[in-house]
Amino acid sequence: MDRYALIVAGGAGRRMGSAIPKQFLELAGKPVLMRTAERFYSFDPSIRIIIVLPRDQFTYWNELIILHSFSLSHSLAEGGPSRFESVRNGLALVEDDSLVAIHDGVRPLVSTTTIENCFEAAATYGNAIPSVNPADSVRLMTGAGNMPLNRQFLRLIQTPQVFNSSLIKRAYATEFNPEFTDDAMVLEKTGEEIRLVEGNRENIKITNPEDLIIAETLFSSVS
Amino acid sequence: MDRYALIVAGGAGRRMGSAIPKQFLELAGKPVLMRTAERFYSFDPSIRIIIVLPRDQFTYWNELIILHSFSLSHSLAEGGPSRFESVRNGLALVEDDSLVAIHDGVRPLVSTTTIENCFEAAATYGNAIPSVNPADSVRLMTGAGNMPLNRQFLRLIQTPQVFNSSLIKRAYATEFNPEFTDDAMVLEKTGEEIRLVEGNRENIKITNPEDLIIAETLFSSVS
């Protein structure tokens, strides 16, 4: 089956307290988004890479490509007002009966092992979602107060979330629901069971300045 | 009310793949355990510090004190075979009707703001547990498969967990229960309600070599 990487980068950078959207900040000398795309290329040089960006960042992205001599072949899709719409726009470029990895543009530390785990399981089960155990105790807020949850039964969810493209495209034909916080939840609404696989702990989402410093530190140790 | 910091350092270092227990590894040039104790001293120079260590590490600790000219006054208590017993041994040195912060020796990045939040709330409510929202989506493993949890209602739990000493000493007079994963759960068994307060995201537990590298990176940014 053909493999796609659909990399979603919609950030406008406000949370980073920076004028530059976080996907364009530099990690080890290159924009985060390029580092992220390179992970998928390292896993499989024949993977088809689609990058979803807000329309008003296309020109800047093309300037960065020249500046960094970035040569990975990829398509661009236009981001929508929400992540849901951005993913839907990207999926329009994905053929049926293929496997598509939907990945956060600001998770450049995904390991090729995690990517491989996900593609392998998704080929068998139709979907695969990388996850890790929480390192801390976890509590649930209830109306009255709070209670402990057994963390053995909890998983923190990452990306890439890999799907049979026909299944996820059908799921994304549904209407947007504010409950959707990731692609697994969109698929789940169609009645499919979600398949969890092992992610890698370094695979953090860069959302604030400390994350970028941490990512810089971890960058050389992830392969 | 008098304030105590009960710092529990029971690690034998196997998970770090190191001969040196993780509490003795160096962070910015000093053993992690000293960095941790210094946080509480920065918050309140009159706080009484109790360090719980395995008996067979007492000599090494005293050598480190000389080597690093570590001058913070503190008492030593003997660690037990489990964390539960280590905490109980430490609590024997704490006076009733005081406030005691029970803290992981390998969390040197707790901010003085977090420590202050906890002592303030515990003075009013009898306990205070620092926590942060998960940054990722969370799923619960069920017998049949798994389901999403609303992360708005979830909290990742940290230390220091601060208690009215009379309440927590009474709670620790109970028998050990393997369900206890932290001190809040021991108190909760007596019928007390647990009070969650805001922690700080950098307040990670050093459990593997990557954590130490991350801690080194974050060390200068936490105050």
CB contact under 8 A, A139 and B194: yes
| pLDDT > 80? residue B12 | no
CB contact under 8 A, A148 and B184: yes
H or E element: which one contains B8?
strand B3-8
- pLDDT tens-digit readout, B76-126: 999 998 999 999 999 999 999 999 999 999 999 999 999 999 999 999 999
Cα(A27)–Cα(A34) distance, rounded to whole angstroms? 9
Smallest Cβ–Cβ distance between B148 and the set A148, A185, A210 belongs to: A185
pLDDT at A97: 97
d(CA A49, CA A6): 6
Q: Where are the domains of chain B?
A: 3-221
**Partner A contacted by B104 (CB < 8 A):** no
Question: Quick check: B171 pLDDT over 60?
Answer: yes
The answer to whether A221 contacts chain B (CB < 8 Å) is yes
| pLDDT given at position A12 | 64
Residue B191 falls in which region: left (phi positive, over 0), alpha (psi -120 to 50) or beta: left
Q: Which amino acid type is present at position A186?
A: V
Are A14 and A57 in contact by the 8 Å Cβ rule? The answer is: no
Structural domain A3-219, CATH architecture: Alpha-Beta Complex (3.90)
Return d(Cα A5, Cα A128) in angstroms, integer. Answer: 14
Q: What is the pLDDT of residue B207?
A: 86
Q: Which residue of B has its CA nearest to A193?
A: B145
pLDDT value, residue A14: 53
Q: How far apart are CA A107 and CA A155, in angstroms?
A: 18
As a whole number, the mean pLDDT across chain B is 93
The answer to whether A128 touches B165, Cβ cutoff 8 Å, is no
3-state SS, residue A131? strand
Helix/strand/coil for B101: strand
Closest chain A CA to residue B148: A185
Residues 6+ apart with CB under 8 A from B72: B34, B37, B38, B41, B49
Model pLDDT, residue B135: 87
ipTM value of the model?
Answer: 0.92
What is residue B195's predicted lDDT score, i.e. its pLDDT?
98
Taking CB atoms and an 8 Å limit, are B146 and A140 in contact across chains? no
Between A65 and B11, the more confident residue is: A65
Q: Inform me whether the C-beta atom of residue A198 falls under 8 Å from chain B C-beta atoms.
A: no
CB atoms within 10 A of CB B166: 15
Angle between helices B83-91 and B165-172 (to 10 degrees): 130
> What sign does the CA torsion over A141, A143, A147, A149 have?
negative
In terms of CA atoms, which chain B residue is nearest residue A143?
B153
Contact criterion met (CB < 8 Å) for A139 and B196? yes
Is 3.60.10.10 the CATH classification of the domain at B3-221?
no
Residues A221, B210: C-beta atoms closer than 8 Å:
yes
User: What per-residue confidence (pLDDT) applies to B45?
Assistant: 98
> Given this model, what pLDDT does residue A210 score?
80
Residues of chain B in contact with residue A210, where contact means CB-CB under 8 angstroms, are 201-202, 218, 221
Please state, in angstroms and rounded to a whole number, the distance separating the CA atoms of residues B98 and B178: 28
| CA distance between the termini of chain A | 24
A153 vs B contacts (CB less than 8 Å): 140-142
**Segments of A58-142 assigned E as strands:** 74-78, 99-104, 127-132, 138-141
Q: Strands, DSSP E only, in chain A?
A: 3-8, 26-27, 30-31, 48-53, 74-78, 99-104, 127-132, 138-141, 146-149, 154-157, 161-164, 196-198
Q: Which one, of B147, B158, B72, lies nearest residue B110 by Cα?
A: B158
How many beta-carbon pairs under 8 angstroms link A with B?
A: 118
Residues A15, A59: contact at Cβ < 8 Å? no
Mean pLDDT by 10 residues, chain A (223 residues): 95 61 94 98 98 95 97 96 94 98 97 98 98 94 93 96 98 90 95 97 88 87 75
Please state, for a pLDDT cut of 90, what percent of chain B lies above it. Answer: 80
